[in-house]
Structure 1
Amino acid sequence: MNEPLPEFLPGSLISARGREWIVLPESDATTLHLRPLGGGEHDEILIFLPLERQPVQPATFPWPTVSQARNHSASQLLLDALQLKLRSGAGPFRSFGNIAVEPRAYQLLPLLMALKLPTVRLLIADDVGIGKTIEGALIARELLDRGEVMRLAVLCPPHLCEQWQRELAERFHIHAVVVRSNTADRLERDLPPGTSVFDAHPFTVVSLDYIKSERRREAFQRFCPEFVIVDEAHTCTQGGQGRQQRYQLLKGLAEDANRHMVLLTATPHSGDEEAFFNLLGLLRTDFTQLKDLPSTQRSDLREELSRYFVQRRRPDIAEWQDTSLFPDRKTAEVTYHLTGAWGQLFNDVLVYARELVERAEGQGLREQRMNWWAALALLRCISSSPAAAVNSLRTRLHGVQSDEGESEALSLEDLELRASDRVLDGADDALSTDDIEPGAQTEDSQRLQELIAAAGALAGSQNDPKLAKLQEHLTLLLKEGFQPVVFCRYIATAHYLAAYLRDQFKSATVEAVTGELTPGEREAAVEQLGESEPRILVATDCLSEGVNLQNLFTAVVHYDLSWNPTRHEQREGRVDRFGQKAREVRSTMLYGEDNPVDGAVLQVILRKAESIRKELGVLVPMPDDEGKLTQALLNAVLLRKGEAINAQSQLDLFGEPAKQIELAWQSAKEKAKQNRSIFAQRRLKPEDVLPEWRKSAAVLGGEADVERFVSRAAAKLGAPLESVRGHFKLLTEHLPQPIRERLSAEGIEGTLRIDFQQPAAQGALFIHRTHPLVVVLADILLERALDATNGGASDDSAVARAGAAFVGNVQLKTTVLLLRMRHQLSVTHGSQTRLILCEESVAVASAGAASFELLTGDQARELLGAEATRNMPPALRDRQLQTALDALTAWQPQLEAIAKTRAQELLQDHRRVREAADAKGAYQVTASLPVDVMGVYVLVPTAVAQGEGA
């Protein structure tokens, strides 16, 4: 008769295959998931009990011995190694041990809001650059580590897919595959029939444009993961066909009441009431009623919405004492005059554009609209650069090339769509990223050829006052140490600028990035620029949305004014955002003082938007009625004759369109005021969040702890860090061979430039608690500490499991015990129970004959980090240590009582941050006993040293 298999609970210690292991929660009666006692996640194994040759036995953790005593300075290193190895920490947040970013306190607010909802439905509408990606991914990581979700999908615009994939991998250790048209076939090729890529790959980043079609949408809804993040969610509201398809996709996903959804957008309300309330309806269907309810009946529903909607601007972060994370943005305006040959050409083009419009009067609607768009394209391109003007004049507007090379006429609808996308800048929820010059050629004439020749002859600063002014301004920025990004509207302008600037700034690296490149190629080009200094990036608006440039650039120059103020904010937000190390960033608008197009846009659109933002503290979207108001304004500029219009002109010079836009701005401002009051939240305050943040930081350690550990460990192992301009250099070739081999397996070799603060110095690796360098050092040192046969008392490369020293910071002989505790946390919701293993390293101390008390991290480091005041003779040291080791058995009840108290505190932490009013479950925490005694240290007052004598 077979013997029944023993039951080993998660957190218990066992002996198998000649070493000791910790049992992990995934284990069952026949299969054990194990982690070595001194190892990390990469050492985990799976064993099947019925097939084991030798029976698996319970084990106890070996106590320190006198032979493991080391120099007192090595004691704190063990404390740090244990703390930084923790992945399933016992703090209030489960995820903090698995992330490579130290969240700021204000970024925890959405996480706490999410954990108080039974099913997470959040709209995070924080300002550009505050860190919505971190906030959304942190919620996903937390639910994954709590075992509440197993799969994740991020839906985002196609140009952001690689960025999301990289952010998830590098910061959150979530390795996702990108799903879009050019990867889906490859991912599906090797799957069994009937298997979805979303089943085969638990973590995916999905292009919204790929997945929105009806066929793919239905399949995705069947296999969609239980947690979905939607980036740029404002593009998924009802409207045009593409937006309508995206909205239907999200609406279908939201119908599953158990699906967690986090929506991210910096512009939730883009001037379209219907779209905004549809977005809120994805959180909870009844929130759409807020649009039509009288204000007297809104209070309860509005109060409910405050649990699902968070929106903060830069000033709102001030109360979190985190304003130092954002630089000061200094703005300036630089002007030029339309002089010389370019001034003459501009006037000739303006006259020609007017003639085109006037000539089409009385003709068919298509001819009228075609000539009007051609005229507007000419004005936009000649205001941008001579190169853009040449391309526009050479490109026919009325047709497109077919596959056979023949010209095919565009329908009026297609003409309007294409011309609008290339000439205008789009609405806030669908800003144009088409940077190809719009066609303006509607005829073949001698006049047209003369304009093309004149524009082509203007290249260079002698004939181009706008270019000359840019060169002057960039010279000043570079002299003051800034790294600039120059934004322009069209591809031709970007290449024109880059070619000229390369010739003028020989010591700088200049690169142009445009929509000609794929998103991956754009990122690679920007990254390559980071290897040079000084550097200048010239970019079209293909880089103005969602791309992070704060690590490499500190100034933005608007070479071409955008006709939508939100685009300006997005451009500046690429540089002025969370993670920018510079204390000051610059933003400059360049415009023609006597350019009538710049004058209208500046006076009627941009300056009005800025004045409203200063008044309300928020950017109000351009109230443009699908571009009609902007078109009317530019029409007034186009057809106005006589008095010149410049940037300082009064509004009445722009006629009725300017008055209509002014009325629309006033209406938008009043709506924004009203919405701010409607959605003003009774929200969590810093005092509600900061204690949780500090608890987790205390359990797991932060940037300062990582720096101290790596610095001391590297020095002890023979490769001390070298300070280099605010960061450090580590020569890995000086490390012991076993460590070099492990680092090499992680792709870490040679000389490393490292930084312990975010963002890392240019060219340096950010070393966080989960970085392979920290993991390898902590694993090696802990293995050596636990190996009783390793080295001897003179082995200074090992950390100290035991020690005794004379110190000056205690009045009584004090015994410090370094403990590792494990707790089993079981959470039951309905019929489902999850078991989670929590670990923590703590220090306790007893002074004289007093009971042991728990030490804070600072108290433990103060005691263990104290310098020895004099040498303690080996015989005396051994005697002091042996007395403490002999007392360990008698101290066990005290240590077990501390472990049980810690278990109850963990339970309260878990309940406090996760429990929702209607989602209460059954919770239980059990301490795994006995606790592991990792280190024993005896601290003797210096005053006793004389009496103890040699």
Structure 2
Amino acid sequence: MTLNFAPGDLVYARGREWVALPSPREGILALRPLSGGENDTVILDPALEALPVEPARFDLPANASSTVQAKAALLADALRLTLRRGAGPFRSAAQLAFEPRTYQLVPLLMALRLQVPRLLIADDVGIGKTIEAGLILRELMDRGEVDAFSVLCPPHLVEQWVGELKARFGIDAVAVTSGTASRLERGLPIAQTLFDAYPFTVVSLDYIKAEKRREGFARACPDFVIVDEAHACVGTHKGRQQRFELLAGLARDPERRMVFLTATPHSGDEEAFARLLSLIDPAFASMDFDDARYRERLARHYVQRRRIDLVSGEWGEDRAFPKHETTELPYPLSKPHLAFQETVLDYCLSMVSRAGEGQREKRLAFWGTLALMRCVGSSPAAALSALRNRAASESDRLEPQIYDEDGEDEDAVDLEPGTTFEGDPALAALIKQAEGLVHEHDPKLKALVDALEPLIKKGANPVVFCRYLATAEHVRDGLRRAFPKLTIEAVTGVLTPDERRDRVAEMVSAEESNSIQRILVATDCLSEGINLQQLFDAVVHYDLSWNPTRHQQREGRVDRFGQPAELVRSIMMYSPESAIDGAVLEVILRKAEEIRKATGVTVPLPDERGPVTNALMASMLIRRKSPRQLTFDLHLQDGAKIMEAQWRDAAENEQKSRARFAQNAMKPQEVAPEWEKVRSLLGSPADAKLFVERAMSRFGVPLEPKKKSVFLAHIDALQDAALRERLAEHELKGSIQLATVEPVPTGSALVTRTHPLTATLGEALVEASLDPESLTSLGIGRVGAWPTSAVKQMTRLVLLRVRFKLTVHARKERLLLAEEAALVAIQSDRIVAAGAEARDLLNAPSTANMAPSARDLRIAKAREDLNGLLNGPIDDFTRDRAKELMADHARLRAAAGSASRVTVEAVQPPDVIGLFVLMPAEV
């Protein structure tokens, strides 16, 4: 006879009891041992088993060993923290390796209220869009609604996404890039695609957008997709058009769930914004932005918060982010350096005057001037490299390099551009002059050292951003001479993305303690892609960026959610005597700051760069006061007026967009109670820390306090070899540093219920109670009796593992397993406390040791009455809990026309893990 087992059913097979999990296919069983964790799951075919698979029942055994109060409380905490299949509407909460902020749950709630989630998350830089998208993904996976997914992102973000999914959400995804795809495809059957073989993928947009790959991906694409840096997928550039065609094709499937992430959804370009919104719903592309009904409809799919809204508003997230202190650092040029800059500018202007009257020739000469002057202002090393490089940069690449928009299809370019001026004998003299300056005293580098010295004394760890590779290496070498005791590295575009990450990671692994300070010198290849907040807390703009959003991106690597320092500093260096620095400050950066203060938004430079180029050239000419003024000075100065008008129009459009679509519908009081309910059931980081503290003490290795909210766990001091081996499998060896609150200090990990130390200790203790042969020295029994001042009459505490069958009624009906740890306090035949109140009773210390005979008598009587309690008040409790859970699920789904609903059924009887009798202290 064939038996059908549903998720949650108990099964006896291979000589032990198991819990049935959702089956991978009909006729096959997925089973998890009752005394094991999720990693012990097995898949079996009942038809191939030597002995039949039968239904089972979990009863409190007659020979269950007794225990004392402290160990009983430890067992209850272990059970609570090890269950991974939460029954509440936030099913993913049990799987998270971090504590999400309340505001980060808003997109999740929005997604749960949509029948087919399509969201555009447009929060500011550093708020946590990756976390918000990951929460949606993890929740839908744990609800059984997502079996496969792809994250589409620029190539430099692929590894970061893979790491974040693993570290925060426990999801193992593979990176699909031009460098990994062939390896992943090797050995696959002809009929199987890479995306069939690997259901969890993070895919480089630039790899997959090519026409030959785009069509194959569209056919195999999972029905859940996250798109990062979504703004880079709309626009007129060829690369952006290819990306948009890819996404538009995916979005045509009305059942595909898609989440788009960007910090700059609008940027003043309403046409590009409409194209982006069309990926959510084609109707959004043509609707009137000023129509209230349109905005109301869009608000269900669009969330945009500024950091100031979260810090100063009712969300009260003042410590989720650091305070930011910005300063400017003007430095003087020495006479030789000033003379060199003036000589190079004279040389460039003479080349411009000989460029001819053609518009293209003039423009190329202007670009060549700006590119070379920018290298000169960066460092003599960068100037020398540019002057020596006779292979001039391609003309269509010069402009984007000048304005720091180097990559539609590649990382930021930090190589010095080649000079476009050839055939002039004066060039050799300039090279000789630059060669001399490379080995002389550098006033800019000295100003940097002087600025860093007080920061270093305060314990800061700065990132110094340079524009060019030669400058970065020059600055690294100079800082190593100035600060020989510090760890100082440089990360530039000569390294691959993987090598960049490794170089940064080595700066941590090289440390023996947090007291060792570090300085990172980087080019803009790191201004996007690698989050640095755990390692660094200050930013120095050694070279001015000519794109104001790049300054924001640089600082955003450090000044973001998860930064443990309370204060982040940023310093902008420039020379008032430098014609090029002065022009950039006047034409671009000061204007950008004025617009930001007036409108509250930072927008990139206008797409039409001609007026910007003219304005910069005019500004340099005025500062140079050259006797050879060019005849078109007035025309050049008009560029500043044209540029400023275009820029202000774009800023006003962006400001209107933010005002129209700001997410104000969901309030903290609507989100926080739902999450607090989950935390009370599953345990907060503070609960996890208390458990780890008690458990390590029980194993004879108490935690060592390090500083406020930080402590050390000495893994190698554990006497139990099997436990040390299990921890070593999670790379936990030696002494590890743990923290109980976020932001987490560098070198520490947040101790949560999913941290390997918490999970391994919890599983070991639960197994020790259920398996008499496991960790016998601990004495973790399942029954006990003791007197306590916490009760006035005899009270029985029953520790339960309650299983629920969750049926999701949607397009495809799914039956899921859910579990909760429950502790109920019973007096006579009535439950008088549950949850936190019952835990307080169990945690109340015993006032004396009972005589063994009296203790055994109390335990025997409680065991004798157990069946009556299971069929009476405990049965009522679990059924009521199922109804409460069903109401919780319904409340979160009952909006925006969601057709799915959830029914919850308690599996009877629940597993009795522990039975403890509390007697009044005076007895």
Specify the TM-score bucket, using the shorter chain as the normaliser: over 0.9
Change in CA separation of 1:612 and 1:881 when aligned onto 2, cut-off 3 Å = farther
Query: For 2:919 and 2:552, how far apart are their aligned partners in 1?
Result: 62
Query: For 1:914 and 1:598, how far apart are their aligned partners in 2?
Result: 56
> Which digits, 9 at most, give the CA deviation of each residue in 1:87-109, with x for residues without a partner?
11112112122222221111111
> Which digits, 9 at most, give the CA deviation of each residue in 1:159-209, with x for residues without a partner?
111111111122212211111111111111211113210111101111111
- Conservation of the 8 A alpha-carbon contact between 2:882 and 2:904: yes
**1:689 to 2:671 alignment:** yes
Residue 51 (structure 1) aligned to one of 29, 48, 52: 48
- Conservation of the 8 A alpha-carbon contact between 1:437 and 1:490: yes
1:63 deviates by 1.7
- Conservation of the 8 A alpha-carbon contact between 1:64 and 1:935: no
Query: For 2:411 and 2:180, how far apart are their aligned partners in 1?
Result: 25
1:834 deviates by 0.4
**1:490 to 2:464 alignment:** no
Q: Secondary structure of the equivalent of 1:169?
A: helix
Match of 1:385 in 2: 379
1:394 deviates by 1.1
Match of 1:410 in 2: none
**1:248 to 2:245 alignment:** yes
- Conservation of the 8 A alpha-carbon contact between 1:64 and 1:801: no
**1:845 to 2:839 alignment:** no
Query: For 1:490 and 1:779, how far apart are their aligned partners in 2?
Result: 52
Match of 1:599 in 2: 582
- Conservation of the 8 A alpha-carbon contact between 1:823 and 1:928: yes
1:351 deviates by 1.3
Match of 1:617 in 2: 600
Change in CA separation of 1:266 and 1:107 when aligned onto 2, cut-off 3 Å = same
Matched residue count: 908
1:506 deviates by 0.6
- Conservation of the 8 A alpha-carbon contact between 1:723 and 1:729: no
1:55 deviates by 3.1
Query: For 2:585 and 2:409, how far apart are their aligned partners in 1?
Result: 21
Q: TM-score, normalised by structure 1?
A: 0.91
- Conservation of the 8 A alpha-carbon contact between 1:488 and 1:559: yes
Match of 1:512 in 2: 490
1:761 deviates by 3.5
Per mean C-alpha deviation after superposition, the further-off stretch among 164-173 and 514-523 is: 164-173
Query: For 1:64 and 1:328, how far apart are their aligned partners in 2?
Result: 58
1:512 deviates by 0.9
> Which digits, 9 at most, give the CA deviation of each residue in 1:822-857, with x for residues without a partner?
110112224x320011100011113x4461045233
Match of 1:15 in 2: 12
- Conservation of the 8 A alpha-carbon contact between 1:20 and 1:37: yes
Query: For 1:619 and 1:27, how far apart are their aligned partners in 2?
Result: 50
Q: What one-letter code is carried by the residue in structure 2 that aligns with 1:491?
A: L
Match of 2:629 in 1: none
**1:308 to 2:337 alignment:** no
Per mean C-alpha deviation after superposition, the further-off stretch among 752-761 and 905-914 is: 752-761
- Conservation of the 8 A alpha-carbon contact between 2:808 and 2:901: yes
Q: Secondary structure of the equivalent of 1:815?
A: strand
Match of 2:568 in 1: 585
Query: For 1:250 and 1:735, how far apart are their aligned partners in 2?
Result: 55
1:54-65 matches, cutoff 5 A = 54-63=51-60
- Conservation of the 8 A alpha-carbon contact between 2:392 and 2:417: no
Q: Secondary structure of the equivalent of 1:324?
A: coil
Per mean C-alpha deviation after superposition, the further-off stretch among 517-526 and 4-13 is: 4-13
Per mean C-alpha deviation after superposition, the further-off stretch among 888-897 and 248-257 is: 888-897
Residue 920 (structure 1) aligned to one of 899, 907, 916: 899
1:818 deviates by 1.3
1:86 deviates by 1.1
Q: TM-score, normalised by structure 2?
A: 0.94
- Conservation of the 8 A alpha-carbon contact between 1:31 and 1:48: yes
1:668 deviates by 2.5
Query: For 2:641 and 2:913, how far apart are their aligned partners in 1?
Result: 76
Match of 2:526 in 1: 543
Query: For 1:294 and 1:758, how far apart are their aligned partners in 2?
Result: 39
Residue 322 (structure 2) aligned to one of 318, 327, 331: 327
1:374 deviates by 2.0
- Conservation of the 8 A alpha-carbon contact between 1:805 and 1:871: yes
1:615-694 matches, cutoff 5 A = 615-622=598-605, 624-640=606-622, 643=625, 655-694=637-676
- Conservation of the 8 A alpha-carbon contact between 1:235 and 1:430: no
1:213-228 matches, cutoff 5 A = 213-228=210-225
Change in CA separation of 1:803 and 1:342 when aligned onto 2, cut-off 3 Å = same
1:527 deviates by 0.8
**1:862 to 2:843 alignment:** no
> Which digits, 9 at most, give the CA deviation of each residue in 1:267-302, with x for residues without a partner?
111232211110011011111123xx373xx11111
Query: For 1:682 and 1:805, how far apart are their aligned partners in 2?
Result: 53
Per mean C-alpha deviation after superposition, the further-off stretch among 603-612 and 102-111 is: 603-612
> Which digits, 9 at most, give the CA deviation of each residue in 1:545-569, with x for residues without a partner?
1320001000000011111111111
Query: For 1:58 and 1:937, how far apart are their aligned partners in 2?
Result: 28
Match of 2:412 in 1: 433
Q: What one-letter code is carried by the residue in structure 1 that aligns with 2:421?
A: T
Residue 528 (structure 1) aligned to one of 484, 488, 506: 506
Per mean C-alpha deviation after superposition, the further-off stretch among 814-823 and 12-21 is: 12-21
Match of 2:761 in 1: 777
Query: For 1:82 and 1:211, how far apart are their aligned partners in 2?
Result: 45
**1:284 to 2:265 alignment:** no
Change in CA separation of 1:222 and 1:28 when aligned onto 2, cut-off 3 Å = closer
Match of 2:703 in 1: 721
Match of 1:895 in 2: 874
Query: For 1:566 and 1:732, how far apart are their aligned partners in 2?
Result: 48
Query: For 1:510 and 1:29, how far apart are their aligned partners in 2?
Result: 58
> Which digits, 9 at most, give the CA deviation of each residue in 1:29-71, with x for residues without a partner?
7432211111111221223223333333332222265852212
Match of 1:744 in 2: 728
Q: Secondary structure of the equivalent of 2:179?
A: helix
1:80 deviates by 1.3
- Conservation of the 8 A alpha-carbon contact between 1:118 and 1:916: no
Q: Secondary structure of the equivalent of 1:852?
A: strand
1:900 deviates by 0.6
Q: Secondary structure of the equivalent of 2:437?
A: coil
1:516 deviates by 0.8
1:130 deviates by 0.7
Query: For 1:303 and 1:702, how far apart are their aligned partners in 2?
Result: 36
Residue 789 (structure 2) aligned to one of 791, 803, 808: 808
Query: For 1:552 and 1:803, how far apart are their aligned partners in 2?
Result: 48
Q: Secondary structure of the equivalent of 2:284?
A: helix
Q: What stretches of structure 1 of length at least 5 have no aligned partner? A: 400-414, 645-651
Residue 157 (structure 2) aligned to one of 157, 160, 172: 160
Query: For 1:800 and 1:512, how far apart are their aligned partners in 2?
Result: 56
Query: For 2:39 and 2:920, how far apart are their aligned partners in 1?
Result: 43
> Which digits, 9 at most, give the CA deviation of each residue in 1:348-381, with x for residues without a partner?
112112111112134x555434432221112111
Q: What one-letter code is carried by the residue in structure 1 that aligns with 2:718?
A: H
Q: What one-letter code is carried by the residue in structure 2 that aligns with 1:164?
A: W
Match of 1:96 in 2: 93
Identity of aligned residues (%): 47
Query: For 1:753 and 1:641, how far apart are their aligned partners in 2?
Result: 56
Query: For 2:26 and 2:658, how far apart are their aligned partners in 1?
Result: 57
Q: Secondary structure of the equivalent of 1:870?
A: coil
Q: Secondary structure of the equivalent of 1:325?
A: coil
- Conservation of the 8 A alpha-carbon contact between 1:509 and 1:536: yes
Q: Secondary structure of the equivalent of 1:805?
A: strand
- Conservation of the 8 A alpha-carbon contact between 1:65 and 1:802: no
Computed over aligned residues only, the root mean square deviation of the Cα atoms, in angstroms, reads 2.4
Query: For 1:734 and 1:141, how far apart are their aligned partners in 2?
Result: 34
- Conservation of the 8 A alpha-carbon contact between 1:384 and 1:493: yes
- Conservation of the 8 A alpha-carbon contact between 1:732 and 1:752: no
Change in CA separation of 1:813 and 1:294 when aligned onto 2, cut-off 3 Å = closer
> Which digits, 9 at most, give the CA deviation of each residue in 1:526-556, with x for residues without a partner?
1111234211101010000132000100000
